[in-house]
């Protein structure tokens, strides 16, 4: 099953690979972003951008509401609210711990899904402002990989932190990942999104460079036009999301359609394109095995 997170709702791709169906619409939120599979509960968790702190001087969201989608019925419920997460992008899960990007304040919230409380904060550096534009998270083997977009001012990077350190089970409330992790530069690539395990490698989108590339040898595997964001793969091939080009004020509106592109595994030829109607921005993709 392929799930699609967008400004205007969560969609599920039909088994016929036809027009995706919307299964969850935002209420008063600023739309959805990160989406992740919660294996323990056989459900999908989706992050909804909320703005409860109206005194915070920012156009971005200030909190996150987590919705849980049952994989059998596709019914959803509000699971919890994670406060003071500003401009959330991707989320990730290790065991019962949810990691949420806090892009505005250059940090990651470590949230316990059992107690519904924040365990701690992973800071990236000492300054609490959007320096690295943290927008991607990936559990890769025994590490948590953190995507540093760097706002296009320099080449993007991956910050690698041991899962043991990231889980913060030692009682620490805050850590600085720059002091405990390892950085790998993605030379020649800027404005990156996504980190996705694919064929024993990790791939990412260079959203303004029309490409999907491997992060180990920096080889481009897919070229396509448009603002690329959202990666997932299944037996059909590699799925890549494309968002409509529009001004920041217009890009989330429901009169804009996004696209899903399917590429073959063996030679990365385009197999088909699927319209995601009224999506606005396509923010994340998720494959969940049946």
Q: DSSP letter string over 238-286?
A: EEEEEEPP--TTTTT-TT--EEEEEE-TTT--EEEEEEETT--SEEEEE
| Distance in angstroms between the alpha carbons of the first and the last residue of the chain | 6
pLDDT, residue 290, reads: 80
- The three-state secondary structure class of 165 is helix
pLDDT tens, residue order, the chain (290 aa): 999 999 999 999 987 777 899 999 988 778 999 999 999 999 999 999 998 887 776 778 999 999 999 999 999 999 999 999 999 999 999 999 999 999 999 999 999 999 999 999 999 999 999 999 999 999 999 999 999 999 999 999 999 999 999 999 887 899 999 999 999 999 999 999 999 999 999 999 999 999 999 999 999 999 999 999 999 999 999 999 999 876 666 656 677 999 999 999 999 999 999 999 999 999 999 999 88
pTM: predicted TM-score of the whole model, two decimal places: 0.96
Q: Which of 253, 290, 273, 287 is nearest to 6 (CA)?
A: 253
Q: Which of 10, 168, 157 is nearest to 96 (CA)?
A: 168
Instruction: Tell me which fold the domain 2-287 belongs to.
Output: Neuraminidase (2.120.10)
Torsion of CA 200, 149, 144, 56, to 10 degrees: -150
Measured CA distances, 106 to 57, 87, 154, 176, 178 (Å) = 16, 10, 16, 11, 11
pLDDT, residue 249, reads: 62
């Amino acid at each position: 099953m392929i799930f699609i997170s967008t400004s205007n709702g969560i969609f599920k791709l039909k088994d016929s690979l036809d027009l995706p169906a919307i299964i969850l619409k935002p209420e008063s939120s600023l739309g959805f972003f990160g989406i992740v599979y919660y294996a323990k509960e056989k459900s999908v968790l989706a992050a909804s951008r909320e703005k409860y702190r109206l005194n915070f001087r920012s156009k971005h969201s200030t909190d996150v509401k987590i919705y849980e989608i049952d994989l059998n019925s596709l019914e959803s419920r509000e699971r919890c609210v994670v406060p003071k997460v500003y401009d959330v992008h991707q989320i990730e899960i290790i065991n019962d711990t949810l990691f949420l990007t806090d892009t505005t304040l250059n940090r990651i919230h470590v949230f316990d899904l059992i107690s519904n409380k924040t365990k701690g904060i992973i800071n990236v550096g000492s300054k609490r402002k959007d320096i690295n534009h943290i927008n991607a998270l990936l559990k890769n083997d025994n590490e948590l990989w953190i995507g540093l977009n760097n706002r296009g001012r320099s080449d993007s990077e991956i910050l690698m932190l041991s899962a043991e350190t990231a889980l913060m089970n030692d009682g620490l409330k805050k850590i600085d990942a720059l002091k405990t992790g390892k950085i790998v530069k993605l030379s020649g690539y800027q404005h990156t999104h996504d980190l996705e395990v694919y064929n024993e490698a990790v791939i990412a989108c260079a959203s303004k460079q029309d490409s999907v590339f491997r992060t180990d040898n920096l080889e481009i595997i897919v070229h396509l036009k448009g603002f690329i964001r959202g990666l997932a793969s299944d037996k059909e091939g590699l799925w890549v999301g494309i968002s409509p080009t529009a001004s920041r004020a217009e890009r989330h509106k429901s009169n804009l359609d996004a696209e899903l592109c399917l590429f073959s595994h063996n030679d990365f030829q385009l197999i088909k394109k699927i319209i995601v109607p009224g999506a606005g921005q396509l923010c994340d993709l998720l494959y969940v095995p049946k």
